[in-house]
Amino acid sequence: MSNVDLTELIFAFATKQDGVVNRRQLIAAGASGHQVDSRVKNRSLRKLYAGVYAVGHDRLTPLGRQRAAVMAGGPNAVLSHRAAASLLGLLPPDRKLEVIRSSSPDPHRPPPAHASRAIHPGLVIHRTRSLNRQEITIRHGIPVTSAIRTIINLAEREPPKSLDLAIRRGVAGNLLDLAELSRAVSECRGRKGIAKLKKVLEQWNPGKLRSRSEFENEVADVCRDIGAPPPLINDMRCGHEVDFQWKGSSVILESDGHPYHLSRADRHRDYQKMLDLAAAGNVVVRIDEKMIFGNRAGFAMKLRKLLEDEGVVELQPVSPQAVAVSDRAPP
């Protein structure tokens, strides 16, 4: 293959693959090992991992780095764990790169050479015996674990809040079904983090699907803690979108998120909204982040009292006061 043909071949692959190529596909397309080594030496191919190169420069997009990580993992590798969650949109972007590949069922067979961390710095390659076709999907042309398998993998080390966020984004984006996720989790045996994931699913709050901030999620969690039914979040009442409400109740919570209440027009809109809601017989309570994150217990107690008066939450039984008994005769 001539140098001109090789250059055209490299750029053809790079255009389709976010600026990365690998040695295996170049040789399969007709290039010689010597030609590839020469391009690496003159730095027209920049080495990312063993046998994986960036074309011209190594300032790659996140997709380019994720694709390169999968190439480095071998022909059966797919993006996994936090990197998969980032690609699927289940969690915020993360620079950590992880892939997973099927391993040999023979425990005496050594791992493949391309799985060595020494030749793939900065990349974590997991090996598993249980990765079937149903657990693999394609996103932007990159093979990646499915949303359900990704969440099960995340349970190994992510906190419950991250798992809750990943599930919420997966359901909202039609990437997973809660019933299918629960069934897959129930079939897992001996995997790390499964007990934690089961607890997150047991406490799943469908009202969070319409939340737009961590503050709104926190208020929804407070409602769960006090035994209240999930609130309707960002739903309509009296022609206005209200932050939190309960069916059959006149109590409405309105959150004062700082960026949304700065201008005079914003404040006028809030005043008009409160007037319309109050005129319709609703009890409008305004809350802010300091009330939740600064004194969560106090806020929860007062919210419970409001909802008890409305019949949304059952009244707490009053425990009898302890009576001190004395052997001394009264004076």
In a domain, 321, yes or no: no
Reduced to 3 states (helix: H, G, I; strand: E, B; else coil), residue 99 is strand
Model confidence at 108: pLDDT above 50: no
Phi, psi (rounded to 5 degrees) for 235: -110, 175
In a domain, 324, yes or no: no
In a domain, 224, yes or no: yes
Residue with tokens 């990365």: 20
Give 81 or 311, the one with higher predicted confidence: 81
Selection from 144, 114, 93, 112 nearest residue 49 by Cα:
114
DSSP 209: G
Mean predicted confidence (pLDDT) in 88-93: 90
Q: Which amino acid is at 34?
A: H
Model confidence at 114: pLDDT above 60: no
Model confidence at 27: pLDDT above 80: yes
- Please indicate, yes or no, whether residues 74 and 188 belong to a single structural domain of this protein: yes
Mean predicted confidence (pLDDT) in 29-53: 89
Residue 172 token pair: 């909202």
Model confidence at 136: pLDDT above 80: yes
Angle at 224 between CA 220 and CA 225, to 5 degrees: 115
Least confident of 13-17, 227-231, 298-302: 227-231
Last residue of a domain, one of 202, 235, 257: 202
Q: Which domain holds residue 10?
A: 3-56
Query: 152-184 pLDDT, tens per residue?
Result: 999 999 999 899 889 988 988 889 888 999 999
Last residue of a domain, one of 14, 41, 56: 56
Mean predicted confidence (pLDDT) in 276-296: 90
Phi, psi (rounded to 5 degrees) for 54: -95, 145
- Please indicate, yes or no, whether residues 118 and 197 belong to a single structural domain of this protein: yes
pLDDT-based confidence at 328, cuts 50/70/90? very low
Q: What is the 3-state secondary structure (H, E, C) of 130-146?
A: CCCHHHEEEECCEEEEC
Q: Which amino acid is at 107?
A: P
For residues 172 and 211, the answer to whether their CB atoms sit within 8 Å is no
- Please indicate, yes or no, whether residues 68 and 198 belong to a single structural domain of this protein: yes
Model confidence at 54: pLDDT above 70: yes
Q: How far apart, in whole angstroms, are the C-alpha atoms of residue 315 and residue 231?
A: 18
With pLDDT > 90 as the criterion, what percentage of the chain qualifies?
36
Q: What is the pLDDT of residue 241?
A: 87
Query: Cβ of 252: how many Cβ atoms within 10 Å?
Result: 25
Selection from 211, 250, 215, 256 nearest residue 233 by Cα:
211
Model confidence at 307: pLDDT above 50: yes
Domain count for the chain: 3
Give 102 or 84, the one with higher predicted confidence: 84
In a domain, 320, yes or no: no
Mean predicted confidence (pLDDT) in 214-236: 85
Least confident of 82-91, 211-220, 240-249: 211-220
- Please indicate, yes or no, whether residues 74 and 189 belong to a single structural domain of this protein: yes
Which range has the top average pLDDT, 183-187, 228-232, 309-313? 183-187
Residue with tokens 């997709």: 63
pLDDT-based confidence at 130, cuts 50/70/90? confident
Whole-number average pLDDT of the chain: 84
Q: What is the pLDDT of residue 138?
A: 94
- Please indicate, yes or no, whether residues 223 and 121 belong to a single structural domain of this protein: no
Report, in angstroms and rounded to the nearest whole number, the Rg of the chain calculated over CA atoms: 28
- Please indicate, yes or no, whether residues 69 and 198 belong to a single structural domain of this protein: yes
Last residue of a domain, one of 12, 36, 56: 56
Mean predicted confidence (pLDDT) in 232-244: 88
- Please indicate, yes or no, whether residues 129 and 229 belong to a single structural domain of this protein: no
Give 318 or 22, the one with higher predicted confidence: 22
CA contacts within 13 A on the Cβ side of 168: 22
pTM higher than 0.75 = no
- Please indicate, yes or no, whether residues 197 and 72 belong to a single structural domain of this protein: yes
- Please indicate, yes or no, whether residues 244 and 257 belong to a single structural domain of this protein: yes
- Please indicate, yes or no, whether residues 123 and 193 belong to a single structural domain of this protein: yes
Model confidence at 258: pLDDT above 90: no
- Please indicate, yes or no, whether residues 85 and 188 belong to a single structural domain of this protein: yes
In a domain, 47, yes or no: yes
- Please indicate, yes or no, whether residues 166 and 140 belong to a single structural domain of this protein: yes
In a domain, 50, yes or no: yes
